[in-house]
A and B are shown apart, each in its own frame.
Chain A
Amino acid sequence: MADQTSSPYQPTMAEMVKIEQLAEREKLFTLYLKDGRDLGHRAGQFVEVSVFGIGEAPIGVTSSPTRNGTFELCIREVGDVTRALHRMEPGSTVGIRGPFGNGFPIDKMRGKDLLFAPGGMGLPPLRSVIQQVLDERESFGRVIILYGARNPSELLFKDELAQWEARDDVEFHVTVDRGDENWTGNVGVITTLFPKVTINPRNTVALTVGPPVMYRFVLIELLSKGIQDGNIFLSLERRMKCGLGKCGHCQINSVYVCQKGPVFSYAQLKDLPEAI
């Protein structure tokens, strides 16, 4: 029972312990909650990060809940709040509200072959569930990762990508829309990676996250491989402000993305024409 002075808008204070530049506009922030608690999130959930005096921004948690203590946020500098975050040094304090949203359906994924298709900034949210899967590797079947970025300088988590590529229990393919003088890998949009893998559609769950324009094309690839609507999961970005299903900004037709999403199955999207 909420007491009179409690408010769902009150953030918990968190401290930044480490800040790493991942790419030109993206930084990886490692934080812990000052009251000592774990964030207690599910992979695929997001938090509202407060820079007092500037505002709040919704950021997906990029680290797995299986890794306790600290949590990681990969943040691109695009607006007022994210610009202020990028100017901070380790030791800075921010407010954290959440975690919010539904998260990826990890229990539906157990025992199945998994096909991850992150595009660009879609990698940070998927990384949380990929890490969780790799931490509990025996519970899952094949792990296939198809990652597309715009160019080599925009590839995120390069060290971790190399680890995934090196593992013999992970099938990893990466492509860039446009290469550079040093790039020797695949060149082409993310859809060009799909012909490289053959899957058993009856036993595969696909998870894809990326910019709005990408979804339609990746869905065509996934559906033509025979994966069922109910086994394809997407994470949809909208303007999450309150995180509580009240302020209205994140609505897709009848649902509040911060409550019923941001993870949706393709089957659910049939009832949400505004979704993609």
Chain B
Amino acid sequence: MPLKVIDKKKMASFVTSLMEEREVVGPVAKDGKFVFSPIDHYSQLRLDCPITLLPPKQYFLPQEEPILKYKLGEATRSEPVIEAKPRVIIGVHPCDINATWLLDLAFSTDNLDTNYMEKRKKAVIIGLDCNEPCDEHSFCKSMGSLAVEGGYDLFLTDIGDAYMVDYGSPAGMELLARHKVAREATEADMSRFRAVQDAKWPKFTYKLEMNVSDLPNLLAIGYDNPLWEELGKKCLACGACTLVCPTCYCFDIVDKLALNLKEGQRLRRWDSCQLPEFATVAGGENFRKARSDRQRHRFFRKGKYLTEMFGKMGCVGCGRCVRSCLVHIDPVEVYNTLKRTCAPGGWAQREVAAYQQGS
């Protein structure tokens, strides 16, 4: 299928005509940083943004959303609430495309979550490649998330005064055909595209001292590494890392009664395994009381459990947690320290010790 090109001077009219049919969300400037936000006018769109503070996950899993509404009284009844708005989310970088793919798997495997999937189905994702690293904190190349194999409807690569466009889905093809802004790629376009690709990869460095595919095993043998205690002492349990992480999706469910006490809503809102109360039950027992245990759990989720559940690496190396962490906890440092200090053992060592003690 021949690649298409959208000249940058046509982007304004493309985005404007997209806005006529659905909400358009993209990176906008805010207080010196960038965030994903719906736009009122094409000029607000900042496709030159290196990276946003928050990933676009809020458009599939909002910070707070109603999932049920109910009426109390003679005949108590409830009904589901599923809000889903047609949207185009434009300017999604490879890290976030890969993270969204993981969230799609999480919410569709075993017990389909209709609240997430309805929003996801109604969203068109127009990705945008990164021609250089967003800053010194990202480590997407190490995590294998700088390449995209899918998870987008259209994917743009900046080749100077135009974007090369790759189709990812029939919806993407249909969108491009309907808006009539693309033209065929010429030889000149193709050679500029190849030049951009060739220049891109060396600009990103490998930061992990191991192959990312070794990470799950490294974590398994590093379960009892003293580094978790050190992290626990540093960590403030503020939860910022989980808030900004594109692959975090834990949530709480709370009821909210209206003032008339006759009706109400059940809401789902973001929660964090880093907060002290996360694993507490009503009787008072807290199953993950120590901060070191909670930090360890986070790294195991990102580097091992999510991969084993869904076949996609749980961390996309976007670096948002590093930028947000008040005490500068950095996954690259954690994984590299683990690699340097691990001795064969961990869980296996505990088994051998137990056997030797004759239990």
Give residues in A with beta carbon < 8 Å to B.
Answer: 2, 4-11, 13, 50, 52-57, 76, 78-79, 81-82, 93, 95, 212, 220, 223, 237-239, 241-242, 244-249, 251-254, 259, 270-271, 273-274
Contacts and interface: CB of A to CB of B under 8 A. Distances in A.
Contacts of B278: 239, 248-249
B114 A4 contact: yes
Contacts of B77: 13
B227 interface: no
24 contacts: A2-B112, A4-B114, A4-B118, A6-B80, A8-B112, A52-B266, A55-B254, A55-B255, A78-B283, A81-B282, A239-B281, A241-B253, A242-B251, A244-B113, A247-B251, A247-B271, A248-B251, A251-B279, A252-B287, A253-B300, A254-B300, A273-B347, A274-B287, A274-B293
Query: Which of B106, B252, B282, B351 has the most chain A CB within a 10 Å cutoff?
Result: B282
B239 to A, nearest CB: 13
A242 B304 contact: no
Contacts of A13: 76-77
A54 B347 contact: no
Chain B interface helix/strand/loop/mixed:
mixed
B280 interface: yes
Given A238-B287, A241-B253, A273-B223, A254 B282 contact: no
B249 interface: yes
Nearest to B346: A273
B148 interface: no
Nearest to A275: B287
Contacts of A251: 273, 279, 297
A-B pairs, 6 with minimum CB distance: A248-B250, A7-B80, A79-B282, A244-B111, A254-B305, A53-B257
Contacts of A245: 110-111
Nearest to A57: B282
B281 A53 contact: no
Nearest to B76: A93
B68 interface: yes
Given A248-B273, A249-B278, A9 B68 contact: yes
Given A238-B287, A249-B252, 18 more contacts: A7-B68, A8-B111, A8-B114, A9-B67, A9-B115, A10-B68, A11-B78, A55-B254, A241-B253, A244-B113, A245-B110, A246-B106, A247-B251, A248-B250, A253-B300, A253-B305, A254-B305, A270-B351
A81 B283 CA distance: 12
B78 A95 contact: yes
A53 B279 contact: no
A48 B72 CA distance: 18
Contacts of A82: 282
A5 B250 contact: no
A145 to B, nearest CB: 24
Interface string B232-250: 0000000000000000011
Contacts of B308: 254
Contacts of A247: 250-253, 271
B86 interface: no
**On chain B, which size bracket covers the interface?**
35 or more
B255 A54 contact: yes
Query: Which of B76, B107, B257, B297 has the most chain A CB within a 10 Å cutoff?
Result: B76
Contact of A249 (B79, B111, B250, B261): B250
B70 interface: yes
A246 B80 contact: no
Interface in B332-359: 347, 350-351, 359
B82 interface: yes
Given A6-B114, A8-B114, A273-B347, A239 B304 contact: no
B261 A53 contact: yes
A220 B273 CA distance: 31
B288 interface: yes
B76 A246 contact: no
B195 to A, nearest CB: 44
A223 B359 contact: yes
A271 B107 contact: no
Contact of B110 (A54, A239, A259): A259
Nearest to A219: B359
A54 B288 CA distance: 25
Contacts of B253: 9, 55-56, 241-242, 247
A179 B147 CA distance: 68
Nearest to A259: B110
A273 B347 CA distance: 8
A82 B67 CA distance: 22
B285 interface: yes
A237 B255 contact: no
Contacts of B273: 248, 251
A13 B79 CA distance: 11
B295 to A, nearest CB: 14
Contacts of B297: 251, 253
Given A247-B251, A254-B308, A10 B80 contact: yes
B113 A246 contact: yes
B275 to A, nearest CB: 11
A54 B340 CA distance: 50
A10 B266 CA distance: 10
A171 to B, nearest CB: 27
Contacts of A274: 287-288, 293
B281 A52 contact: no
Contacts of A50: 78
A120 to B, nearest CB: 11
B264 interface: yes
